[in-house]
Amino acid sequence: MKNILKSLPKIELHRHLEGSIPIDLVLKWSQKYNLPLPMKDPRFRGDDKELRRDDIQAKTPMPFSTVLERLFYQQRCFQNLESVETLTYEVLKSIAQDNIKLLELRFSPGFMAEPQNLSFDGIMEAVLSAKEKAQKDFEIEVGYLLISSRDFGIATCQETIDLALKWKDHIVGIDLAGDETKFPDTLFEKPFQKAKAAGLNITVHTAEVTPAKNILTAHQKLGAQRIGHGVQAATDETVIKYLIENKIPLELCPTSNFITEAVSSLNAHPLKNLLKRGVKVTINSDDPTLFGTTLTHEYEICVEKLGMSLAQIKQTILNSFEASFLSRAQKKRMWEKYFQTF
């Protein structure tokens, strides 16, 4: 089954650029620019690189805020616009190697710009250049989602929305992410309503570690067409029915949901049950470097831990195809080549 899952043409909707830099490149770039890395424990007698690898990654459950702190080491790699372009290309290369054919890759211009106060427009030019090269070099279609980070406040959210509108023809949508426990969705209603009115596609991280009812707020107040994570929906029958009736897809990420303590164990993840109920669930890797995973590995978890069949895995891929914000032309080309036989 593992070989079958590896060879399946895949679609990923929920993946962060900043959390996808191959870990060897995180270490290499950190050394190149003399950036901070986790301190070596003097009690540890072994390979320094392996210790740092374990400290950068999050492989056991921990509070959501602690998980977000681990992204610091990947964020610091964006030291200039050249590094943005180079690292983005390398991320897309690693994604293509997992046989992902349709990809939505999201990033926060504010988060990437922060270490060296890089230009937002410069970041956009760099990631678009990397995308153009990657689509020529690899069999993959890519669309970008711009993230507004809750933690940076409402003013930066509005700045990100304005940037998205400026580059509207070069992205597929926007996202709201960050610490949902400290910065609720309602704070960002005004800028997201502006984005919705302008015709931008919208997805929102919510109900990952906060109540299921936040999904209703994201959909009704922020205009979310998809929900990032939304794993707590399984705890509320009213929300489940709402998702089904309104055909709102969930971007579920099993390993991530386990590490952030959104679910008690991988075996307890509600993905399969939500799928059987009729919710449009999709499978994603979220921050694969941070969580030490791949999209193929997430499929393996769903088969081994949740007892999902190959047919059910394929159904989630078809759900992803239907829910994707990528252009009709991009989807049509990949459908005819890889997915119509599903």
User: Which amino acid, one-letter code, is at 134?
Assistant: A
Residue spans of beta strands (DSSP E) within the chain: 10-12, 100-107, 141-149, 173-177, 202-206, 226-229, 250-252, 281-283
State the DSSP H helix or E strand holding residue 155, giving kind and residue range, or none if neither. helix 153-166
Give the separation between CA 145 and CA 202, rounded to whole angstroms.
Answer: 9
Q: What DSSP string runs through 111-128?
A: HHHTTTT--HHHHHHHHH
CB-based burial label for 125 (10 Å; 0-12, 13-18, 19+):
middle
Q: Does 336 qualify as catalytic in the annotation?
A: no
Name the one residue in this structure whose structure tokens are 């055909």.
Answer: 247
In the set 85, 104, 208, 298, the catalytic residue is 208
For helices 48-56 and 23-32, what crossing angle results, to 10°? 110
Q: In whole angstroms, what separates CA 311 from the centre of its chain?
A: 24
> Cβ(198)–Cβ(172) under 8 Å?
no
Close Cβ partners of 209 (under 8 Å, ≥ 6 residues apart): 64, 180, 181, 232, 260, 261, 262
- Classify the C-alpha dihedral 303-106-51-179 as positive or negative: negative
User: Which amino acid, one-letter code, is at 288?
Assistant: P
Give catalytic residue positions. Answer: 208
